[in-house]
Structure 1
Amino acid sequence: METRPPISLCPVTLLDYRKRICDAMNFISQNLENELSLEEIAQAAIFSPFHFHRIFTTLTGESVAAFTRRLRLERAANRLLQDQRTPITRIAMDGGFSSSQNFAKAFRQHFTMSPSAYRKSKTGNTCRKPGNAFHRDFPYAADMMPAGSPFFQNLKNRRELTMKGSIEQIPAYRVAYIRKMGAYGHEICEQAFGELMTWAGPRGYLEAGTVLGVYWDNPEITPPEKCRMDACITLPDPAEPDGDISVQQLRGGPYAVCRFEIANADFPKAWNEAFIWFMEQGYACDDSPCYERYHTSPEEHPEGKWIVDICMPLKPA
């Protein structure tokens, strides 16, 4: 039996991830009046921007954009309580909002009342001791976060799906593919795979080929209409694609592979739980796209489910 050499990977502890996410939170808190790009925030926390947004969301429960918006609104709410004389429009503009109308709409959605009604009806924040209003902005920092807070809870407690995780040395895949551009979701995947299957079926590639879905772009950086999704199937050598089909080679190397048996609606949750597992193992992501590797489709499964691997490229040591 052939003995494979051990996979050498760049180690990152879960505590490292938490500290660096705290650095990102601090950077956002200190620059709320500025329009920060995701690349700037990732760089401040020494993250690659490619996977930063998913790691941030997994550990905090909020996207970077939602976190930033919430902090701006909370800071404005504090100022409304502290400073009764400053016009609301000035508070909105100082808080990084483009107009008082946008501020009022966002504020009402978050606090269920207008800024003026909040200023009139509130005597202090809800998170205060009786008789001791707490009005100061409280920065996020690793040494300030209480051990029992949601940010530091055991990530395993947030899992709802059954998953099998492993580290695999995956070969480079030479694939035929159909590319679609647009917001990630069921519609774009159905179009891409429908065209790919129509091409691959008559040529006999479905029986032996591995089917993959590759997601190239970060929808928090790339506009939704510009996001690239590839429906792929591996090609036997020396087969060549034709017509509207193109060919490419996907990166080989070490991957974190998380296998799920899920319904259509569970894909977002599966991606989140795959990243939870990968961070618990202490690995760092490489700057390459993740992909889905399909074993069965709902049409082939007795319960109408997918058996799918979520494959995340790892950074070698």
Structure 2
Amino acid sequence: MEQKTITQHTALEYKRRVCLAMNYISQNLDQELSLEEIAQQASFSMFHFHRIFKAVVGETIAEFTRRIRLEVAANHLLYKPNDSITTIALHYAFSSSQNFSKAFRQHFKMTPSAYRKQKRKFGNNPSNKENVLSLKATYAMTPSLSDLPKINRSIEVKAEIKTLPEYHVAYVRKIGPYGPDTCEKAFNELCQWAAPKGLLNTGIVLGVYWDNPEVTPPEKCRVDACITLPPGATLEDPIATQTLQGGPFAVCHFEVKPDQFQQAWDNAFTWLVDNGYECGEQPCYEIYYNNASDYPEGKWIFDICIPLLVKP
């Protein structure tokens, strides 16, 4: 019971710190904030901060920032009718009134001028004290922990904390958007090299994903297709080797269809946050147990392994 209380407290602290990040964004909507700046405000390491934020809030940092900018701008349209659309657009760090109008139309399904006209038509009075207070509250944007969204948990997560060993691996690295043109090429190349050596029967196949495509430009994302090598193995072929660091990991087990990988990652980090664990600075990786093409339901069976912070 004591351990459960500690875990609940840690999870609450996690969410409190994400709320600090949300507040900082909301208080600086007129600026382009860096990921490092936002992470520092909440005392998070940058390495996995973006995924942690999404696990708690249900939106990426960019999605959250854009939505809050548009919602506050919508209030500005109503309660400061003498401010031009261009003035409002530039005030909330949109590069032009055209870009603002396009984003606004996508979000509210109408142009800023139409929104202003329609809402005022139905009785919004900018001199009304309640409306002014509402605008100030919107500017403050101080979220409550109980207001944070419920994350989609449609994929079952079977998770546990494990101490994983170091893995000495041969690997093929590809750079580009995660998907068939990058990941499959890397694994196909690795398998063609490993199969004649019998390594596919004895080794563990892993995928190391160094970057988060919601932060890193997709064309610059790195993936390593890896297979473990037996102790003392030496390689004469022109293929790279590396050692993946061991230690405590959150190991989240999934059986999913090919189009559910992103949801699996989202749910893994949601589990991590809910249970109060903090990420270490190493990259995450996947361990694969099958080839989906050989599985009756076409599902991948794999673990997402998230490194945990080792506290002194």
TM-score between the two structures when normalised by the length of structure 2: 0.89
Identity over aligned pairs, percent: 54
What is the deviation of 1:240?
3.1
User: What residue is the counterpart of 2:144 in the other structure?
Assistant: 145
1:20 maps to 2:17:
yes
Moved more, 295-304 or 111-120: 295-304
5+ long unaligned stretches in structure 1 = 1-9
What is the RMSD computed on CA atoms of the aligned residues? 2.3
What does 1:150-229 align with in structure 2 at a 5 Å threshold?
150-151=148-149, 153=150, 158-229=152-223
Name the amino acid aligned to 1:225. Answer: E
5+ long unaligned stretches in structure 2 = 1-6
Name the amino acid aligned to 1:120. Answer: K
Alignment deviations for residues 151-181 of structure 1 (CA, whole Å, 9 cap, x no partner): 3x5x6xx421223211111001000011011
Alignment deviations for residues 68-126 of structure 1 (CA, whole Å, 9 cap, x no partner): 11111111111111111121111111111111111111111111111111111113999
User: What residue is the counterpart of 1:5 in the other structure?
Assistant: none
Q: Structure 1 residues 11 and 285 mapped into 2: Cα distance closer, same or farther (>3 Å)?
A: farther
- Runs (4+) of structure 1 moved beyond 6 Å? none
How many residue pairs align between the two structures?
A: 298
What is the deviation of 1:314?
0.7
Name the amino acid aligned to 1:95. Answer: Y
Alignment deviations for residues 172-192 of structure 1 (CA, whole Å, 9 cap, x no partner): 100001101112234311111
**Equivalent residue in structure 2 for 1:64, among 61, 66, 91:** 61
User: What residue is the counterpart of 2:115 in the other structure?
Assistant: 118
Q: Structure 1 residues 246 and 57 mapped into 2: Cα distance closer, same or farther (>3 Å)?
A: same
Q: Is the 8 A contact 1:211 1:233 kept in 2?
A: yes
**Equivalent residue in structure 2 for 1:45, among 42, 46, 55:** 42
- Higher helix proportion (structure 1 or 2): 2
Distance 1:117 1:315 in 2: 50
Question: Secondary structure of the equivalent of 2:24?
Answer: helix
What is the deviation of 1:246?
0.7
What does 1:119-138 align with in structure 2 at a 5 Å threshold?
119-123=116-120, 133=131, 134-136=134-136, 137-138=138-139
Alignment deviations for residues 182-214 of structure 1 (CA, whole Å, 9 cap, x no partner): 122343111111111111101111001000010
Question: Secondary structure of the equivalent of 2:192?
Answer: helix
Q: Is the 8 A contact 1:213 1:231 kept in 2?
A: yes
Q: Structure 1 residues 146 and 192 mapped into 2: Cα distance closer, same or farther (>3 Å)?
A: closer
1:92 maps to 2:93:
no
